[in-house]
Structure 1
């Protein structure tokens, strides 16, 4: 069963915004919304490895503390730990720490929270480009397709434009549209945010690619959910 990230009302708002924007331009706007762009499994592995390394380093740097702790636990009746046993203990602690952290980070919200913002932004951008290549790039006669992509859990969005648009419109021009979108998403109104971004994108597209006498609707207006 497919999980819906937004309401039917949000779908209607975004679809209507795309249709309205495209009345004034030959540009073709595609809107896509996803719950999350990446699982960040590699981030969990890095965190687990870093914590395990730190734990092993601490034990290795302060051996007397842990030897005294061992004596307290055994009441002084334990045998003298050999160098090999001590090495094995350090490795065992590292392995247990690694497994423990990895199990904790199976909880995706925590894994996402511990992922640096730059990594999240890069993964969202990469996903947007992949989707653009599959569904938007070179799908219009004038190479005037443009993708608006929103990834909800990362609170990140991106715009990827086809060749003709990219040649005339610098990426920073879409800054206002992105700001309006993210502001609404943080307020819990993703549909309204995407609609406002589409409206502002339409203004820019109408300036550089005004509607011609023949303007077939080459790409879907509906909001696509992943």
Structure 2
């Protein structure tokens, strides 16, 4: 994402916020988690299976079986640790859970829970996980059905998968702004409480 993309998203946020008291923050993260523990757990679990065929099908001694199991564990750790970078062997539900936790963390860190009327909205995207989510603060959450957010997220994920992340984010921000304008329109004393720039991690 180059500077022109960042500026285009920031401008989309500014336009979306012009008709609402809501505050929109966009966070795009390359990867929600490093998943370092997953290759370790997988390698050690596979290594536990190594002794059984050796005990049933061969006459190898117990110390030698233990040594073979240890060597298998080391090789599996090395192989899975190298090939599993980026969460390749991580189940989808684990990726979604980690990405959701990262979104909650960003919501708090970016000050969305400290706006004057609790009208902060986070658009969070985790590229590696192919995950996107809208999180809204209490001043908005009760007014807008979760299905509305899902209908905004689905096209964004499709655009990102097609290599058009910037376009997808801009469209999503516009749609979020339209929903917010219906439920929390801008007041005469409305001020821009949070920066409009996209946060890329």
Please report the TM-score for the alignment, with normalisation by the length of structure 1: 0.84
Distance of 1:176 and 1:96 partners within structure 2 = 50
The answer to which of 162-171 and 147-156 deviates more is 162-171
Distance 1:36 1:200, change over 3 A: same
For residue 52 of structure 1, give the secondary structure of its aligned residue in structure 2: helix
Name the SS for the 1:43 alignment partner.
helix
Bigger Rg, which one: 1
The Cα of 1:34 is off from its aligned counterpart by 1.0
CA distance in 2, matches of 1:28, 1:190: 21
Q: Which residue of 1 aligns with 2:136?
A: 161
* Equivalences, count: 201
The RMSD of aligned alpha carbons is 1.6
Q: Which consecutive unaligned segments of at least 5 residues does structure 1 have?
A: 1-5, 68-80
CA distance in 2, matches of 1:173, 1:120: 23
Q: Tell whether the 8 Å contact from 2:23 to 2:120 is kept in structure 1 after alignment.
A: yes
CA drift of 1:111 comes to: 5.3
Any gaps of 5 or more consecutive residues in structure 2? none
What is the match of residue 10 of structure 1?
5
Match of 2:111 among 124, 136, 157: 136
Structure 1: 4+ residue segments shifted above 3 A: 108-111
Cα deviation code 1:133-164 (max 9, x no counterpart): 11133221000001111111111112211111
**Out of 15, 19, 33, which is 1:20 matched to?**
15
Conserved 8 A contact 2:39-2:84: no
Counterpart in the other structure of 2:48: 53
Deviation at 1:56, TM superposition (A): 2.3
Matches within 5 A, 1:47-196: 47-63=42-58, 67=59, 86-107=61-82, 110=85, 112-196=87-171
Larger deviation: 38-47 or 164-173? Answer: 164-173
How many Å separate the matches in 1 of 2:10 and 2:111?
A: 17
Range that drifts further, 25-34 or 40-49: 40-49
